[in-house]
Chains A and B, each alone.
Chain A
């Protein structure tokens, strides 16, 4: 059974850093394209980042230069390193597997950026 479990969210001050993790089971992360998608409170979905199976990475303009997507194949885990956090980064962050389109989503982890 495919499962994605995010962790690492919490309350962080503006300018701070946080690393989100997404532990995958039931499939091999390195064999799929993997995304991070976020949703601010009461708002719609926003695509954040993508990593190809080859390791190539892509980012939304809103996070490029501040966020880094990566994976650890030995742990079958996807990561999102978030630096220079801003209030507008407050959101639930979902990891999502892509297979012709996003087919599986995690349950999300809440990141709150506030002083």
Chain B
């Protein structure tokens, strides 16, 4: 059973930079896993931020960026703002046609 790992929680100061990661219980994440990132606030549907590792979804500001850092996918938020306080989920494509979400990271901006 493939497990996708994310930090349960993270905090960042307003204006600061934070990097959230998305890993595998065994093995390394590469672009072949097409990592994607989603932002969700309570009671709302998810919003797509990044797909295919580093492609920003339409309307997403460029302070959100995706990459591979070491053996994990990463979402970096630069110049954090109060309304970035949300849950962030990554998803990896396992074996091409199965998607596995990470458990999500609760980001606090304070």
Contacts and interface: CB of A to CB of B under 8 A. Distances in A.
Interface of A: 35, 37, 44-47, 50, 52, 56, 58, 60-61, 94, 100-108
A106 B89 CA distance: 17
Interface residues of B, number: 26
Q: Nearest 10 A-B pairs (CB), nearest first?
A: A101-B51, A47-B99, A101-B36, A58-B97, A44-B104, A45-B101, A105-B45, A100-B52, A44-B103, A45-B89
B16 interface: no
A58 to B, nearest CB: 4
Main secondary structure of the interface of B (DSSP, over half): strand
A44 B46 CA distance: 11
Main secondary structure of the interface of A (DSSP, over half): strand
Contacts of B104: 44-45
Contacts of A58: 97-98
Given A94-B46, A101-B48, A107-B45, A46 B101 contact: yes
Interface of B: 1, 34, 36, 38, 40, 45-48, 50-52, 55, 57-58, 87, 89, 91, 97-104
Contacts, number: 62
Nearest to B92: A47
Contacts of B47: 105
A35 B103 contact: no
26 contacts: A44-B101, A44-B102, A44-B103, A44-B104, A45-B40, A45-B46, A45-B89, A45-B104, A47-B91, A47-B99, A47-B100, A100-B34, A100-B51, A100-B52, A100-B55, A101-B36, A101-B48, A101-B50, A101-B52, A101-B55, A102-B36, A103-B51, A104-B48, A105-B45, A105-B47, A105-B48
